[in-house]
Structure 1
Amino acid sequence: MPIVWIGFAIFMLLCEGFTTQLVSIWFVLGSVCAAITTIFTSDITIQSAVFLVVSLVSLIVTRPLVKRFKKRNKTTGTNADRHIGQVGFMLTDSLEN
């Protein structure tokens, strides 16, 4: 059974790698803890409970940190923002081919 939990952790880690926001990092931690639980018990309900509790607690603990980090990293405008609402001129006619 630890293979299943480690496989799930790797899958969630890959999912986290393909996203730009924290959406599955808590499940990685929960599944690693559930895999460690397999050393002590073979009961799937206890392993699942450890997975759920650790995932939920890590989500609750890190949520304020994530909100503070997102608030600090506001979107930075680029130089292209200066051109919004301005008039541009074409030097050549692109319809002639």
Structure 2
Amino acid sequence: MSAKQKTYGFGVDPALSTNHFYVVAPPAGNEPVQIYERYGWTDGEEQVLERSDILRLEISKHKWNLVRGDLTSEFNGRKAIRQGNDGSLVGYRRL
């Protein structure tokens, strides 16, 4: 039996690919939520934004709260499919 790989967020495994999206969601106030695309992985548990990271989306906190639940469900579903935990026989679902 092989050891389970450590993943982060919605199944990011930096041993397979360092490309991932990083969401900055301020906990309070009305500051916008920012989503960055990153092509590198910062050593350690917490990721640190670098100059090379690309801001792909900035959305109001109100709009983020409207889509957050659906996005979480979708990405958790994709993670389950990749890990074989959903009982399906197919790969990725379309968003």
- The TM-score with structure 2 as length reference comes to 0.30
Q: Greater share of helix residues, 1 or 2? A: 1
Larger Rg: 1
- The TM-score with structure 1 as length reference comes to 0.29
